[in-house]
Amino acid sequence: MFRLFVDSVVLLQFVLLVLELWVRLRSLNECLLVEVYHPRPPQWQVATQPATSSVRLSHLREAFLALIHAGERLEEHFRLSLAADVAHAVIGAICSSYEVLIIIEKPHITGLLPYSKSLTTSMSWLTYHCFKIVCLALSCGAAKDAARRTGVILRRLPVLPTSLSGEVDAFLRVTSQEAQLNFTAAGFVEIDRQLVVSALAVVITYLVVIGQSVTDW
């Protein structure tokens, strides 16, 4: 039980840090939209406005790089725990689903189950494991989408003054595919929304195989 508590705390810490990264990336994208799509009123536009805009774009580019590096450090720090959490969640979901299947289909052999013999307990564990996968997938997916959104905003820019084109090109190079934010479980599994689909496919596949053997009992 203590080990479960520690794993949950570590997972919660990672999710909260990823969500903070997502909030900061969204704020950066909003600032970028305001900067390039909403020009200042005429009375505010002075001769030095393009240079000022170039400085602001440079600051936004530096902030974007800092956030990407923070995401890389975050993944590097939690890589082993992420791999363990993903593996534990998928295997746990398979085992809990198997217990639920046995309790519902073959209640007379419930006593042979090595772990939980209660439908409520098995469903609780299944919910817990699914919740872990969904939290990881949605939080990492949201942060990755926010990072990609920055590149989309820059590629859809209207015609800009020549003084800003160089800064925008530099910003676009920073948001290239090679520099995209990416979370993996120690390099084995990519953590994004696709993880939910992959985990569900694995659980269903094992349940079909196990279900065929259960019907023969």
User: What pLDDT does residue 111 have?
Assistant: 60
Q: How far apart, in Å, are the Cα atoms of 102 and each of 93, 139, 151, 159, 214? A: 14, 33, 50, 64, 8
Side chain identity at residue 139, one-letter code: S
pLDDT per 10-residue tile (average), the chain, 217 residues: 71 94 94 72 45 78 91 91 92 86 70 65 89 94 93 77 70 74 89 93 87 64
pLDDT at 208: 85
Domains in the chain with CATH codes: 2-214 (1.20.1050)
DSSP 40: P
Cα Rg of the chain (Å, integer): 24
Cα–Cα distance, 138 to 191 (Å, whole number): 9
Rounded to 5 degrees, what are φ and ψ at 198? -65, -45
CB 106 within 8 A of CB 84: no
In the chain, which residue ranges form alpha helices assigned H by DSSP?
2-37, 49-105, 119-155, 162-174, 194-214
Q: What is the DSSP string of 127-189?
A: HHHHHHHHHHHHHHHHHHHHHHHHHHHHHT-----HHHHHHHHHHHHHTSGGG----BSTTSS
- Which pLDDT score is estimated for 34? 82
Q: Would you state the pLDDT for residue 47?
A: 43
Q: What letter represents residue 207's amino acid? A: L
Q: How far apart are CA 110 and CA 113, in angstroms?
A: 6
Output the CA angle 18-24-28, nearest 5 degrees: 140
